[in-house]
Amino acid sequence: MKIMMLGAPGVGKGTIAKRLVARYNTPQLSTGDMLREAVKGGTEVGLQAKGYMDAGELVPDDVVIGVIGERLKRPDVNDGFILDGYPRTIPQAEALAAITDLDVVIRLTASDETIVERLSGRRIAEDGTIYHIKNFPPPPDVKVIQRDDDKEQAIRQRLFVYRKQTAPLVEYYRDKGALKDIDADASRTVDEIFEDCCSVL
Ligand code: AP5
């Protein structure tokens, strides 16, 4: 199945995508993770992306379309994949549509208050496990870091950019009949949100 996770920064796309990977044994394609890897490795793409990411801006379409285009050529995606954080603009969605169709677009929704609380408390372990200082505290022996773009000013900018550049994808995929809305607000546990997602697949 070809699945896309859509939703504001910090709504829980990565958390749910990792659980879907485990249940359906299908690869997660996170452009955020790919770009952070490129920054860490000091590659050409990483050098192009770093400034945008730190500022909470989107990396230019041509760069990201190139990264995902290469990834989609690998054979492990032949039976399906979970796109996490891509597409994020209408030109990216059109570039993807020229390569493949999506079966389901899962949109997670939550209030701004919930999102800011989730992002400011997020911590990441070296193996990519996502923790939260209050909701899912890391074990004492696990070393975690805070992402550079999880600081207040970058969070505000990411939310602004989401509304302006990514939110139009909601209508784009609704028109295609692919969109499924899932309530991911603070009153819902990760287990409940995950089961809701599985029920629409
Ligand atoms: P990216 O890494 O994709 O960041 P994002 O979309 O901002 O999403 P996040 O990873 O911040 O959040 P999430 O929704 O995955 O939430 P999570 O599960 O971690 O992109 C980063 C940057 O890369 C962009 O700003 C841009 O510069 C660039 N980029 C990436 N893709 C691009 C593209 N296509 N085009 C252009 N530029 C691109 O959860 C958050 C926290 O909440 C965690 O601590 C978690 O433990 C907690 N949590 C989650 N769910 C729950 C719950 N139900 N209850 C309690 N706590 C919860």
Query: Beta-carbon neighbour count of residue 179 at 10 Å?
Result: 20
Tell me what pLDDT residue 152 has. Answer: 86
Closest C-alpha residue for ligand 1 atom 17: 12
* Beta strand residue intervals within the chain, DSSP E: 2-6, 28-30, 81-84, 104-109, 122-125, 130-132, 144-145, 179-183
Q: Which atom of ligand 1 is nearest to the CA of 130?
A: 46
Pocket probe mutation, ligand 1, options 4, 29, 59, 164, max atoms within 8 Å of Cβ:
59
CA 43, CA 45: separation in Å to the nearest integer? 5
Q: What is the mean pLDDT of each run of 10 residues along the chain (201 residues)?
A: 97 97 96 96 97 95 97 96 98 97 97 94 94 96 94 92 98 97 97 98 93
Instruction: Please state the φ and ψ torsions of residue 83, each to the nearest 5 degrees.
Output: -85, 125
Catalytic amino acids? 13, 88, 122, 147, 158
Is ligand 1 within 6 A of the CB of residue 190?
yes
Tell me what pLDDT residue 3 has. Answer: 98
pTM of full prediction above 0.85: yes
SS3 content of the chain, % helix, strand, coil (to 5): 50, 15, 30
Tell me what pLDDT residue 157 has. Answer: 94
Is ligand 1 within 6 A of the CB of residue 52?
yes
Tell me what pLDDT residue 42 has. Answer: 97
Q: Which atom of ligand 1 is nearest to the CA of 60?
A: 36
The helix (run of H) or strand (run of E) holding residue 121 is: helix 112-121
